[in-house]
Amino acid sequence: MGASTLRLLVGLGNPGPEYERTRHNAGFWFLDALARVHGAQFRAEKRWQGDLARARVGDRELELFKPMTWMNRSGQAIRAVADFYKIAPADILVAHDEIDLAVGTVRLKFGGGAGGHNGLRDTIAHIGDEFWRLRLGVGHPRDKTQEAGPMHEEVIDHVLRRAPREEEEAILRCVAEAVELMPRVIEQGPQKAMNRLHRKQADASGKAEPESAGDEARGKKADEPKQD
């Protein structure tokens, strides 16, 4: 399989300093780290309601985009940028937090549903589901407590809070690993890079990482801060 056709890398998150270090902003962390490594500078683009940068990764010029519309309205901003640059969904990679992966795990995936993630849900509503996803594991609240209570509220609290130091460091390590992987994604294509990444992480853990259990394991969807 040849080089990828990726042209637009998107990171999902919520704007504002109060959300900067929350688990839900892992997608922003990835793009910020990628921009630092490749010497790119984000600029605010009001017409697209987000921050945009251009980075040279390997032999490819890529657009990096962070929607500032709040998580549950990410799709409209992504669609606007994709339409302007005439970028097909299959040439877009969206980085996001994933509660159905263990803390510090990173996975590449093409297509599929939203799995209860509001940012993915809105993105799918605007560009369809045939785009690449970079899933950054932040763990599930069920892993921390067996207390009875609405899972919906537990998920919201989990993703909109900062992780403990050890967990945050693990998430940042997987972000760094994903940044290191990107030149290979560009040169060899996401599928080949995905196979290498998954094999490497399985070897490191001593066993295959279980795949997401989907909507059923997640329970109800995690809502974002309500903004009109």
pLDDT of 164 reads 94
Kind plus residue range of the DSSP H or E element containing 56: strand 50-57
Residue 69: half-sphere exposure toward Cβ, Cα within 13 Å: 23
CATH architecture, domain defined by 8-218: 3-Layer(aba) Sandwich (3.40)
Please list the residues that pair with 58 across neighbouring strands.
Answer: none
Give the length of the chain.
228
pLDDT-wise least confident of 27-36, 48-57, 204-213: 204-213
Measured distance CA(173)–CA(168) in Å, rounded: 9
> Cβ distance 55 to 40 under 8 Å?
yes
**In a 3-state reduction of DSSP, which class is residue 191?**
helix
pLDDT, one tens digit per residue, over 87-134 is 999 999 999 999 999 998 999 999 999 988 999 999 999 999 999 999
198 classed as catalytic: no
Question: 51: number of CA atoms within 13 Å, CB side?
Answer: 17
Amino acid sitting at position 170:
A
Interval 123-172: pLDDT, tens: 999 999 999 999 999 998 876 554 545 556 688 889 999 999 999 999 99
